[in-house]
A = this chain, B = another copy of it.
Amino acid sequence: MTTVQPIAWSEAGVRILDQTRLPGEEVYLDLETVDAVAEAIASLRVRGAPLIGIAAAMGLAAAARDRAARGTLPPDWIAEAADLLEGTRPTAVDLRWALDRMRRTGADGCATGLPAEEVARALHDEAQLIWDIEIGMCRSIGEHGAPLIEPGSTVLTHCNTGVLATGALGTALAAVYVAHEEGRGIDVVATETRPLNQGARLTAWELGRAGIACRVIVDGAAASLMAAGEIDLVITGADRIAANGDSANKIGTYALAVLARAHGIPFFIAAPRSTFDLALASGAAIPIEQRSPDELPTAPHVQVYNPAFDVTPAELIDGIITDAGVLRPPLEEAIGEYGGRKVESP
């Protein structure tokens, strides 16, 4: 199976797939400065929380190598570069996690008096490690999730949770990719995912590149496909999971969970354990970002209510597929046991 490569090291920097041009055009950009990487993140050329963190770390490392080759690599330069990159998407947890690791690596190298080239090498290795952690975590999610997908199944998914979001196999899509690798003969139904169409634009495109059959539907059509017996299970990602298992994810996920239950179809969430926020007792405590009305084309002066996420209560979730295994109801207990462990990955 060949998946698309949304990020790679290039000769003098990092090479990214410009996701704003998808699915119409497949354009790769070589980014050689911190400013260029910051621009790519801010303008959503690189998107998906994990991939943003990886891109920022790799971009910082590549620019540091260039800086070191021209003489010095002062600790202030590293700190300022990290601040600039972190400011592009202030709410992205993975971005902060990745840049904190890069700051620490840079500061440690400088403090111990390593030559500039050695510090740059350490930053490169750290960025690669951040990427490798993501790759390993996604692979684990995929391997735990794939056995849930019976041969010949049709999987319904929402939004984009795959290679384009993570620079690795993804979360919900990791299970799909591994099931496909294992020759289970599955296919996918991708919801369009309004208002930003990540399903229609990104999921369908990356599955097509991997040779996995995929049909796109409008979000409102999921119910009639379920009623027709055409959906065997639903797997979505999650942005934040409370201690009791209530899960926040892209708007429209909760509807799919209610509909799946009404039609007797299993509903799974796939997410790394780092998605658990044990400080939150339940989904009621998860803040829901309200996004710009401009994302919906309507008349001027029309009021638009545009929440980015909704919360699916734990009782509608048949399991949470994590990098440490599938957590089954009662989710509160399962999360307490697995999610409570100290996790090194973001």
CB within 8 Å of B: which residues of A?
22-24, 189, 191-195, 197, 200-201, 204-205, 208, 213-225, 227, 251-255, 258-259, 262, 296-307, 310-311
Contact = CB atoms under 8 A, between A and B. Distances in A.
Contacts of A220: 191, 193-194, 219-220, 251-253, 255, 310
Given A192-B296, A254-B223, A259-B258, A306 B208 contact: no
B307 A224 contact: yes
A304 B216 contact: yes
Given A227-B254, A255-B259, A306 B218 contact: yes
A118 B296 CA distance: 51
A298 B218 contact: no
Classify the secondary structure of A's interface with B: mixed
Contacts of A195: 192, 218
A214 B302 contact: yes
A188 to B, nearest CB: 10
Given A224-B251, A305-B189, A310-B223, A200 B258 contact: no
Nearest to A311: B224
A305 B215 contact: yes
A299 B258 contact: no
Nearest to A191: B220
Nearest to A222: B255
A204 B302 contact: yes
A24 B302 CA distance: 12
